[in-house]
A and B are shown apart, each in its own frame.
Chain A
Amino acid sequence: MPVSQSPTIIVCVVIYLVACLLIGVWAMKRTRTIADYLVAGRTLGPFVIIIAAMSSIMSGFGFVGGPGLVFDSGTSSLWMTFPSTFSFALSWILVGKRLRLLAEVREVLTLPDAVEARYGGRWPRLMMALAILLGVLGYLGTQVLAIGMVLVAVFGVKLPVALMIGLGVLAFYSVAGGILASVYTDLFQGLLMMLSALAVLYYALDAGGGMSEISTTLWEMDPEFIGPWGTRGPLTSLSWYMLFVIGAVGQPHAITKFLMLRDVRQLKWGALLTGASYAVLSLLWMSVGFSMRALVAGGVQGQLDSPDLAAPVFLLNYTPGWLAGMVFAGLLAAIMSTSDSFLNIGAAAIVRDIPIAWRGRAVANELFWTRVFTGVLLVASALFALYMENLIALLGTFGWGTFAAAIVPSVAIGLNWKRATGSACVLSIGTSIVLNFALELSARQGNHILPHGMAVGCFSLLVSIAVFVGVSWFSGEGGEEKLAPDVKAAMEV
């Protein structure tokens, strides 16, 4: 990433970091129990939940990787971000009410809690916790590395120093304030991202001479690039679409936000508004990628060393200092808002979900140990990021697909379909982990087993759904007969 060291950008980023610290101090005073720490004591209103769900899904990948992918392969990657208008609605329709109602009758603070309430037994909880932990480790590693790289670009310091600054702030507000600090920083971060995206759209179109001019330049360079499928082709684009539209329902950092809602009635307009607010962020993804590619194709901008430089180079060269500062802060916000959600659910998996599955009860002094493991996870992911970059890249790719394939069948379908069984839950989660890991590893070694560019995560998701439905259908376990009356009632409202 190019180094800026512009005073305006440094000031904006410092203001942002200080605001995060202040929110952490405020939240710390309001966090007294494990329920406060993990689900904000179920006290949050709809506006906070909408922006927090949106900003936790928009990670550094969306702010840097998204424009980079558009720069690299044109329209193809828009099939990843355009599903959001529908996918958030699907999350609300399939999971929102069910998960929140389950929390009315059981102590559901995490997804493994919900899975145990739904299916009974320890194995579904254990498998869900393991899938979440594996996904979290991968995601956190990539996000931590991204925090470091952004701060290297802003302050011009070495990576370990940048990591200490960024992770210090993240550790403080996440450990001290738990999810309350996380969602309120998400709120601040989400609003910052939306403002940044709208402003960047204007400058991106302006720099490229308007959308018609950008399209014409790109068409002359390569008609497929600006065509509806980009350079990756229709099957890759459509399999991304399926993975991101249905798979979004299984992203734990977004759907656990339902557990924090004060009143289940407040779900009403969330489906529409979250999709709409994410659509605003998609404008940055699309406009910067196309504009930068047109600038390079038109000879206005020199070649980039890497597609991921599209967004930072655009900001530094084609936007005013105040906007670049705001977007760099927004970029940091995107990365940190995703990281803090993962820290929360990862620590809960270690301290609460796995011990309960293993020995039937959570550890003593759960709040204290969850705080400790939030810090431990952050340090571990920083070490991973510094010393095991290849593993991190693999786990990062593996994250979204694993969450989708593990969680969509067991939670999104299982909370709506009474015939679903615990065996189906365990087998589909196991299938999702093995398939995603094996296929990603194989693809990284150059062996593309799936034909025609089909996305690994999409394939794993479809197989996992088929396993879940098939096993539930044919196992003869009688999923409905085993349901506890309160859980059954929560599935019938």
Chain B
Amino acid sequence: MRDRPEIIDLLIVARRLLRAELVPLLPPEQRLDGLMIANAIAIAIRQLATENGPLDEERYSLQALLGSDSQDLLKLNRELARRIRTGAVGIGAADADHVHLHLTRVAADRVAESNPRALCARR
């Protein structure tokens, strides 16, 4: 068992300290660097919080879409990319809606981790 607090709590408090106490002290030309570090930590926090949920869903959806039992997310995505390019699936094919929905869900999950504010703005 690891010691407490957990990694996610460490990152949350580290980010808060960085933004509230350190960034204001930075010279103006380095303030953006400070904010970028805070942004990177925020992405890490959100990825830790969602654990593997979105990846498991993506894998399941890809397997259904492609009729594959591969567990390899990279391989599955490569195959989907290839089939979309040739027109075997997606635009112009019978499963266009299904592929569009899959891509939209996966992109939304990734935005939720990288920049959730963009999702809020969209809604």
Does B bind A? no
- Chain A residues in contact with chain B, CB under 8 A? none
- Chain B residues in contact with chain A, CB under 8 A? none
